[in-house]
A and B are shown apart, each in its own frame.
Chain A
Amino acid sequence: AQKITQTQPGMFVQEKEAVTLDCTYDTSDQSYGLFWYKQPSSGEMIFLIYQGSYDEQNATEGRYSLNFQKARKSANLVISASQLGDSAMYFCAMSTYNQGGKLIFGQGTELSVKP
C-alpha cells in the first residue's frame, strides 16, 4: 500500500532562517513522483515542487528545495530564508505509475514563521 507520513503537526521558524519539513513515503512501485503543496489560511492548494523517483538531482524551485533520499524513502522540503508569507499548511504527496497518477497526501505540517 502507498503511504505518506508527515510526523511534524506544527513547526515554528524564525524569519530569514531555513526550515526543513519532513516527509517519508512507502511504496513498492519503482516509478513514482513526490510533490509538495502549500495551503495558506485562505485555503487554496498551491503546488511548490516535484521530484521524480528517477531524478538524480534534488529538485529546486527558488527558495524551495526537496531533499530526496531514495534509500531512506524520505522527501523533505527545505525552505531557505523563511518569510512571514511562508506561514501555512504544507502537504507532501505521492503519485505512482501503478496507481494511475492519483495523488495521496500526508497529514500536513503547519508552519508558523515568527518575525
Chain B
Amino acid sequence: DAGITQSPRHKVTETGTPVTLRCHQTENHRYMYWYRQDPGHGLRLIHYSYGVKDTDKGEVSDGYSVSRSKTEDFLLTLESATSSQTSVYFCAIRASSTGGPNEKLFFGSGTQLSVL
C-alpha cells in the first residue's frame, strides 16, 4: 500500500460543469501522475508533477489542468467537462525521487467519471 487515496471514487456530472479530482498521498513522494484509462487505449498520461508547483503535460492534456500546492495533494480539474472525458482516472506516484526508468509506479484505486 503506497498510501494513495483518490476522491471521489465515482462521479456523475453534466456536460459543461467543472470537475475536480483529488489524489492524496501520505509519504511525501516527489513524482505524481494522472492517467486516464479507456478501452482499447490502455492508460494514457494526462499530466504529471515533479514537485510542489512543478507540473508538465502528458500526451492527452487538452481540456485538463492540474495543481500541486502541497506535496501530498495533486488535483486534476476538468474546467468544462465533455462526454469524451468519461473515463476511469488513475493517480500514480513514484516512490523514488529520481526520474530514472527503473522505478515502478504505484496506483490509486481510480475514479470512475461519467459526463452526461
Chain B nearest CB from A86 CB (Å) reads 19
CB contacts (< 8 Å) of B90 on chain A: these are 45
B107 touches A45 (CB 8 A): yes
Q: A31-B101, A52-B102, A95-B101 are in contact. Are A101 and B94 (CB under 8 A)?
A: yes
Chain B nearest CB from A28 CB (Å) reads 13
Q: How far is the CA of A104 from the CA of B92 in the complex (A)?
A: 13
Smallest CB gap from A101: residue in B: B99
CB contacts (< 8 Å) of B110 on chain A: these are 43-44
B43 touches A105 (CB 8 A): yes
Size category, B interface: 20 to 34
A97 part of interface (Cβ distance < 8 Å) = yes
CB contacts (< 8 Å) of B100 on chain A: these are 97, 101
Number of residues on chain A facing chain B (CB within 8 A)? 30
B residues lining the A interface (CB < 8 Å): 31, 33, 35, 40-45, 48, 50, 58-59, 88, 90, 92, 94, 98-107, 109-110
- Additional A-B contacts beyond A101-B94, A105-B44 (8; CB < 8 A): A9-B40, A31-B101, A33-B102, A47-B106, A97-B99, A101-B99, A103-B45, A106-B42
